[in-house]
Structure 1
Amino acid sequence: MSETISFEEIPYDWRKPGTYVEIRPSYQNLGVLGYPARVLLIGQMLATGTAAEAFPQRITRADQAPALFGAGSVCAEMAEAFRAANQTTDLYVMGLNDAAAAVAAAGSVVLAGSPTASGTLALYIGGQRIAVPVAAGATVADIATAVRAAITAKTGLPVTSGGAAGSVTLTAKQKGTVGNLIDLRLNRLAGEATPPGLTVTITAMSGGTGDPDLQDALDAIAAEWFTDIAVAWTDTANLNALVADLATRYQAMGAMDAHAYAGLRGTFGALSAAGAARNSPHLTIIGANASPTSPWAWAASLAGVAAFHLTNDPARQLRSLALPGIQPPEPALRFTMTEQDLLLRDGISTFEVSNDGTVRLDRVLTTYQKSALDVDDVAWLDIMVPKTMSRIRYDWASYVGLTFPRSKLADDGSPVAEYGAAFVTPRLMHAAWSARCTLYEREGWIESATRTVAESSFLRDADDRNRMNARQLVRVVGNLMVLAGSLQFEV
């Protein structure tokens, strides 16, 4: 029996003389397909912003986010933190308005005494430095007036200022619990000191209540592709909605894989409890105690680093990579090695701090800790596992769509499949899977490709002749996390 050749554009019974050649690509030697990384940051916006609520805005320039969401908004800060870490990945930001009944947090800076020498009052609000010159003998009322003016002039701050005499009252621009997390402190850098004779008392931000409903944002992007999502809120209700949405996206019938990032501020005990309460392979939480930088900026920065590097290589760990601009806790408030190990067991990702104060990622993992039967499980421990599996699924599905777009299905050994055109059989599909796995192994995503392909199987469904079923095994490549050695000496 001779082989038949089919055409997509040339009629099989065309009689007019001529040479007709249709052009189409061959995917026989197709490399790994490009992965369309697309990041979404979800935070709060101010009424001064021009963006529509719950609508993703594409951000390509530094001045866009403050204009769209309001200077000093959560969204603007997240966008700035992301772009400091990642200048190239396609970025979208979505803003939600303050909750209707939300209350803004407030704090204060109270000045007393009289400076006996000139100096500089270095006040930090949300990690941003406000330097106010102080003259010897200046009254506290004059100094407070200067502080209020400096705060007003710095439009990117997350607070507004008021007060009278020697008191500076601070009110969060954004209503809700996010305002409680705005850090206030003095003299963060070496060499900074309050001018002698001047006393400064800081009351931390507090009293903020009410958060937007993250479900509104999730509903708005239900049909949109985003590979990485950073969120500003970590309350139970919003995180429950987030992980449920991520699980749906990752299912076979969803195939709109996304990984989410959140930041937490708290003590070891608080972070441990928060992490232990989560169990999602699609959520990463990074935690720090009393960092000057807001938790949502930590989340956005981590999303920036992860989106860039895990798109380049989804199987390679993020250890040692810097979070640019993120300010670490003071040394006394950083977690010990034992505490970090315990936090990792509770699903909280960890970091280290270089001598120059740069925050560097230590181990980035998911919050997944137990199976559906409540058994300790490390299957989805590190972020590289869901990221690698997403990449392989995307590449394989795209490759099959390109290679077998209108193929007919036949049994192995069928003469029609051997000689006919546009046919695929389980054996041919298995061969295609073998070729892709060889490619994935060369990319460094998986190992033992020969073994895993041999253990994979492709079968034509016994009841539906238009369906092929497959069990495809891969072994995600490992990473050097721990080197344990016994260093011995002779005596």
Structure 2
Amino acid sequence: MIVTANSKAAGTFSSVKNIPFTFTPEVVPRKNVIIGTFDPLKTDIVADVPIQVFSPEDVGAKCGFGFMIHRLAEQCFKGSGAGIETWIVPQDENGTAVAAAGSIDFTGSTASNETLYLYISGILDRPIAISLANAADDAEICSRTVDAINAIKELPVTAAINGVTPEICDITAKSKDVWGNGITIAFSRRPGEETPASITAVITAMTGGSGGYDITTALDALGTGDNANEKFFTEFIHGYGSLAFDDILTYVGPGDQKIGLYAETVHKPFQSLYGDVGAGSAGLTAVLAAAELRRETDRANGYIAVAGSLSHPSEIAALTMGHRSRVANSRPEQNYVDIILTGIDPGDEADRWTNDYANRDTAVKGGVSPTVVRNNTVYLQNVVSFYRPESVPINSNAYASFRNLAIMQNILDTQYKAFNTPKWKNFTIVQDATLVGNTDAKEKVRDIDAVVDEWLNLIQGWYNLAWIYETARAFEVIGTPGAVTIRGGTDGFDANSEVILSGEGNILNNETNIDTSIAILG
């Protein structure tokens, strides 16, 4: 080097030097993907092709407002905000699919100027306010209801006056298939709202939706083989309910195996949820039984339960996953306790098995994510997957918690990136890199110590981000002879590290002993 710290003569200097920079782990940017059917009249949409979208309005304009994929997007964006990259994979409806239908049969008339508050699919942040003049009869009430429903394009249904009985409002799901069977119809769901005593509204629940879905074509559109989930979607949102569990699990990879999205050549797993609205003790029993069937292998799916809710189960899940992407985008080590599910119907008090801690504890241990309701507002608690094999102790089950799974997504990604830098391309393996004398050769020689050093840096980076619990043992393990070895053909290295994930702060158990006697004071 000509110029040193002690140089004095004037001059302008320029040089370059090829130095392998140290890799610093960074948080994986979250990326949502939404799968669902769209308006068949949107003929410019090509099914099963991923499209990046930027808002619910963008999805509605492309795919039809109120159709399945738009409803999911509205909830997802509500949770994630505008800062999370989001894509959709629109799917055609089954050619033989049938739309669900229901109705409202009005009798009576108004005794004064009144307002009815109607809710479709438990969407509390889109109330349907039906203004009625004094002495409006049942046919007028029906007509006003039809107009009010159809005026809100974001709703998942259309309405029409019955062709035979003008006081009956016929309601039809925009999206066909079983999706529509989960759409509810209800009046006065928020505090202070009442249906006038002079009006009776008999609701026929939405039913009759049928058909069938094939989510595999959408999954394949994300990539197959070593290119599976090529864009690295971290949150997977869909409208197909438990019917899609098996296909999603097959794509992600069942059990604690290096297959699917957990394969060494892929390392890009995502997770997914479906809502459960089963009411009362029977609802808890049913959802636990469903989760039990999947406990041995399913680290990809889970249930999020809002007991007795009138919101669509898939929309509850979409909102939850949107929140998860937002939180994990900056702090994957954070859990989701007490995040508010804005606009989700809380269900009736009597239906909430989630009110009891013992029930929530049973649910979490059984692979079901409970919620709590305070002041008619729904809050997240533990968010968990189904995965609970008998062979894995409960305190060692890393796949059980969605928070842990977010950390694992980041560990897999940063582990790959650390060894995919120019430093680890086109290298030469030697026994001891310090003994290589040629300057040019030294730039690209690597030995076991170089691998260990990279791992030490990686482990420290994970700890700095609070993804792992400690470093001392992790450093010791990776530095133990045999943890890093040269492959038999001298064509690479095998490394095996061990880390303990950082703890998920869920429980604070405090107790104060109380006495009224002062005898202890002497």
Return the TM-score normalized by structure 1: 0.89
**Which residue of structure 2 lines up, in the alignment, with residue 475 of structure 1?**
500
CA contact (8 A) 1:116 1:196 kept: no
CA contact (8 A) 1:45 1:69 kept: yes
Distance 2:93 2:115 in 1: 36
Q: 1:173 to 1:242 in 2, by over 3 A?
A: same
CA contact (8 A) 2:248 2:300 kept: no
Question: Structure 1 residue 123: deviation in Å?
Answer: 1.3
Question: Structure 1 residue 256: deviation in Å?
Answer: 2.1
**Which residue of structure 2 lines up, in the alignment, with residue 286 of structure 1?**
304
Q: 1:469 to 1:145 in 2, by over 3 A?
A: same
Question: Structure 1 residue 480: deviation in Å?
Answer: 2.2
Q: In the TM superposition, what whole-angstrom CA distance separates every residue of 1:296-334 from its partner, at most 9, and x where no partner exists?
A: 221221111111212312222111222333332222222
**Which residue of structure 2 lines up, in the alignment, with residue 168 of structure 1?**
169
Alignment of structure 1 residues 73-472 onto 2, 5 Å: 73-86=67-80, 87-126=82-121, 127=123, 128-162=126-160, 163=162, 164-222=165-223, 223=227, 224-225=230-231, 226-236=233-243, 238-247=244-253, 248-266=260-278, 267-279=283-295, 280-334=298-352, 335=354, 336-355=356-375, 357-370=376-389, 378-402=397-421, 403-412=423-432, 415-416=435-436, 420-456=442-478, 457-472=482-497
CA contact (8 A) 2:33 2:236 kept: yes
Q: Give the unaligned 5+ runs of structure 1.
A: 1-18
Question: Structure 1 residue 413: deviation in Å?
Answer: 6.7
Q: Is residue 2:31 matched to residue 1:38?
A: yes
Q: 1:211 to 1:461 in 2, by over 3 A?
A: same
Distance 1:185 1:268 in 2: 23
Question: Structure 1 residue 375: deviation in Å?
Answer: 7.7
Distance 2:413 2:429 in 1: 22
What SS is found at the alignment partner of 1:326? coil
What SS is found at the alignment partner of 2:329? helix
Cα RMSD for the two superposed structures: 2.3
Distance 1:245 1:177 in 2: 23
CA contact (8 A) 2:448 2:486 kept: no
Q: In the TM superposition, what whole-angstrom CA distance separates every residue of 1:92-149 from its partner, at most 9, and x where no partner exists?
A: 1122122122221111100112333331121111124222122332221121111112
Q: 1:476 to 1:22 in 2, by over 3 A?
A: same
Distance 1:375 1:362 in 2: 22
CA contact (8 A) 2:433 2:446 kept: no
Which amino acid letter does the alignment assign opposite residue 404 of structure 1?
W
Count of residue pairs brought into register by the alignment: 469
Which amino acid letter does the alignment assign opposite residue 364 of structure 1?
V
Which amino acid letter does the alignment assign opposite residue 472 of structure 1?
S
Distance 1:352 1:458 in 2: 46
Distance 1:100 1:79 in 2: 24
Q: 1:141 to 1:83 in 2, by over 3 A?
A: same
**Which residue of structure 2 lines up, in the alignment, with residue 10 of structure 1?**
none
Alignment of structure 1 residues 17-36 onto 2, 5 Å: 21-22=15-16, 24=18, 26-28=20-22, 30-36=23-29
Q: In the TM superposition, what whole-angstrom CA distance separates every residue of 1:266-287 from its partner, at most 9, and x where no partner exists?
A: 2222222222222322323212
Q: 1:438 to 1:315 in 2, by over 3 A?
A: same
CA contact (8 A) 2:30 2:328 kept: no
CA contact (8 A) 1:347 1:368 kept: yes
Q: 1:422 to 1:413 in 2, by over 3 A?
A: closer
Q: 1:34 to 1:345 in 2, by over 3 A?
A: closer
Question: Structure 1 residue 21: deviation in Å?
Answer: 4.7
Which amino acid letter does the alignment assign opposite residue 248 of structure 2?
L
Distance 1:413 1:145 in 2: 84
CA contact (8 A) 2:37 2:175 kept: yes
Return the TM-score normalized by structure 2: 0.84
Distance 2:96 2:336 in 1: 40
Q: In the TM superposition, what whole-angstrom CA distance separates every residue of 1:23-78 from its partner, at most 9, and x where no partner exists?
A: 556423x4323523211011221213342211222111342111111111111111
Q: Give the fraction of aligned pairs with identical amino acids, expressed as a percent.
A: 23
Distance 2:84 2:28 in 1: 11
Question: Structure 1 residue 293: deviation in Å?
Answer: 2.2
Distance 2:477 2:17 in 1: 37
Which is worse superposed, 215-224 or 332-341? 332-341
Q: 1:374 to 1:234 in 2, by over 3 A?
A: farther
Q: In the TM superposition, what whole-angstrom CA distance separates every residue of 1:137-173 from its partner, at most 9, and x where no partner exists?
A: 2221121111112222222211122214111111111
**Which residue of structure 2 lines up, in the alignment, with residue 5 of structure 1?**
none
CA contact (8 A) 2:301 2:386 kept: yes
Q: Give the unaligned 5+ runs of structure 2.
A: 1-12, 254-259, 518-522
